Amino acid sequence: MAFEFRLILFVLLLAASLALILVAASITGLYIVKLLIGIVAVVLDVLAMATRYFTYLFEPMYKMKRRVAVIDSDDPYTMSPSGNAIIRREKDLVYATAFVKIPVYASATEMEDAEKADFAMAFGRMLSIIKEPFRLSTQLYVLNKDEYVEKIRRRLDEAQDRYNQLASKESAEGASASRNVSPEAERIRGETTMWRNMLDSVSGARSHSLLSYAAITSAGGTEEEAVNLAVLKGGELATGISTALGISASLADRGEILFLIEPDYMIPIANLSEQITRKEEGNG
């Protein structure tokens, strides 16, 4: 798109310059007017050459003025039919990227000096085992607890309703709530307590988590070839990481891949806006 714009602008400026030259040639006398027209034509020629080779220097300022930043007009990737890699086509080649989840159970701040040295040596062995280039990344993401909290709250309400109904029924039958509580009522009361404790625990927990992963890319002439190569290398990478670090690394599936690369999955809008609202209310 940018190349076509530069080419069109280049042709238009040259055409305008040529038109001015023809107009100046058709005028008899009026040498000052001819001179001015000639100067304008030269300026147009200079602008034409500048747009031909240096337009890319002005495009960011133009887009900034319009408050529009276009990174790529094409889709950055597509998900493979198998759901274990993302695909991008560049001319005659297809690039597929597979992702390996790396579960990390400890932080360096919690390790002793000897443990840090052992971990560094294990990490170095992992890098030496894998011959293919890959990318390591760790990201902090926001957990969307809204749906989970709503499910727990719904279960709590259901258990509370069942307990109230059973208590009303037993009261109507003349049972003493203090001395003759039925086993069924006791069980439902325990279930209600469990859901209430779980709701308090989940609601008070942090909405952030840390995840590490490795990405490896392969090229192929077809999507199937590229995906198969990427998945094969990803499996080897997962095996090497698991062996070197003593963990269970594995390939990410469709939902987990989107979770790693899509902003809507990394930072759920509803959850984030709710947190901001609560923070503003607290400050107010």
Per-residue H/E/C for 29-87: CCHHHHHHHHHHHHHHHHHHHHHHHHHHHCHHHHHHHCCCCCCCCCCCCEECCCCCCEE
- Per-residue pLDDT band for 69 (boundaries 50, 70, 90) equals very low
Q: What percent of the chain has pLDDT over 70?
A: 70
Nearest to 204 by CA among 278, 283, 107, 280: 278
In a domain, 13, yes or no: yes
Taking each helix axis from N to C end, the angle separating 223-245 and 113-129, rounded to the nearest 10 degrees, works out to 150
Is 139 found in the same domain as 83? Answer: yes
Q: Which has more confidence, 140 or 197?
A: 197
Tokens 């030259």, located at residue: 21
Q: Which residues contact 53 (CB under 8 A, 6 or more apart)?
A: none
pLDDT value for 55 = 60
Q: d(Cα 98, Cα 218) in Å, to the nearest integer?
A: 9
Distance of alpha carbon 72 from the chain centroid? 16
pLDDT exceeds 50 at position 268: yes
Is 188 found in the same domain as 93? Answer: no
Distance of alpha carbon 264 from the chain centroid? 7
Is 218 found in the same domain as 180? Answer: no
Average pLDDT over residues 194-222: 81
In a domain, 72, yes or no: no
User: What are the structure tokens assigned to 19, written together?
Assistant: 């038109």
pLDDT value for 227 = 92
Max mean pLDDT range (60-64, 120-124, 192-196, 263-267):
192-196
In a domain, 70, yes or no: no
User: What are the structure tokens assigned to 156, written together?
Assistant: 């709590």
pLDDT value for 232 = 92
The torsion angles phi and psi of 138, rounded to 5 degrees, stand at -130, 130
| Mean pLDDT across the chain | 76
What's the pTM?
A: 0.50
Q: d(Cα 232, Cα 237) in Å, to the nearest integer?
A: 9
214: left (phi over 0), alpha (psi -120 to 50) or beta: beta
Where in the sequence is the domain holding 35, given as residue range(s)? Answer: 2-65
- Per-residue pLDDT band for 96 (boundaries 50, 70, 90) equals very high
Query: How many domains does the chain fold into?
Result: 3
Is 193 found in the same domain as 242? Answer: no
Tokens 């701040």, located at residue: 109
Is 53 found in the same domain as 10? Answer: yes
> Which of 204, 220, 250 is at the close of a domain?
204
Is 214 found in the same domain as 275? Answer: yes
Nearest to 84 by CA among 237, 222, 256, 218: 256
pLDDT value for 57 = 57
- Per-residue pLDDT band for 92 (boundaries 50, 70, 90) equals confident
DSSP assigned state of 222: S
pLDDT value for 267 = 61
Is 59 found in the same domain as 82? Answer: no
Surface-to-core class of residue 53, CB atoms within 10 Å of its CB (0-12 exposed, 13-18 middle, 19+ buried):
exposed
In a domain, 238, yes or no: yes
Contact 216, 132 (CB under 8 A): yes
pLDDT value for 280 = 47
In a domain, 45, yes or no: yes
Average pLDDT over residues 247-254: 87
Is 279 found in the same domain as 220? Answer: yes
What SS3 class is residue 158? helix
In a domain, 110, yes or no: yes
pLDDT exceeds 80 at position 249: yes
Q: Angle CA(244)–CA(248)–CA(254) in degrees, nearest 5?
A: 125
Is 113 found in the same domain as 18? Answer: no
Is 227 found in the same domain as 197? Answer: no
pLDDT value for 1 = 46
Is 214 found in the same domain as 263? Answer: yes
